[in-house]
Amino acid sequence: MAGSSHGHTPAAWTGVTIAFIGFCVAGAFMVMDQPVGFWAGMVVVLLGGVVGAIMRMMGLGQPRDLHQPHQVTGDREPASAEG
């Protein structure tokens, strides 16, 4: 979608950043064979989704009307040949 700002919102950036940190923590603890640390990292990943959703509800996400699919109808006038 050209010209779209899909995902470029404070809610999206914050949620993804928190989830990425949780992913890194879970990965590090998985390599260290520490199941408790792994699951703590997974909780942080889920926390990123929750924080992003809350921020979106607070109005820091993409407006709902931008998510509507574009309707294509045959009612358009043909483009003129003049440039």
Do the Cβ atoms of 52 and 16 come closer than 8 Å? yes
pTM: 0.69
**Contact indicator for 18, 68 with CB cutoff of 8 Å:** no
DSSP assignment of 30-83: HHTT-HHHHHHHHHHHHHHHHHHHHHIIIIIS--GGGGSPPP--TTPPPPPS--
d(Cα 42, Cα 48) in Å, to the nearest integer? Answer: 10
Q: What is the pLDDT of residues 8-64, one digit of tens each?
A: 889 999 999 999 999 999 999 999 999 999 999 999 999 999 999 999 999 888 877
Least confident of 1-5, 16-20, 78-82: 1-5
Domain spans, the chain: 26-60
